[in-house]
Structure 1
Amino acid sequence: MTRALSDRQPVRRLWRSFPGTNRQVGVVRQMIADYLGNGPSAEVAQFVASELVTNALRHTRSGLPEGRFRLTLDNRDDLLVIGVTDQGGPADPPQVRHVGVDATGGRGLYLVEDMATLWGVYGDPHGRTVWALIQLAPTS
Structure 2
Amino acid sequence: MYTRFVSLAGIHGGADASHHQLDRLAASPLADALRETSNMPTKTFTSGRIKKADYNTASRQLDLHWDNKTVLAYKHVPEEVYRRLCSAPNPAAYWEDRIAEEYPKGTPMTSSADPDGAKKLDDLFGGGD
Please report the TM-score for the alignment, with normalisation by the length of structure 1.
Answer: 0.27
* Bigger radius of gyration: 2
Structure with more of its chain in strand, by fraction = 1
Structure with more of its chain in helix, by fraction = 2
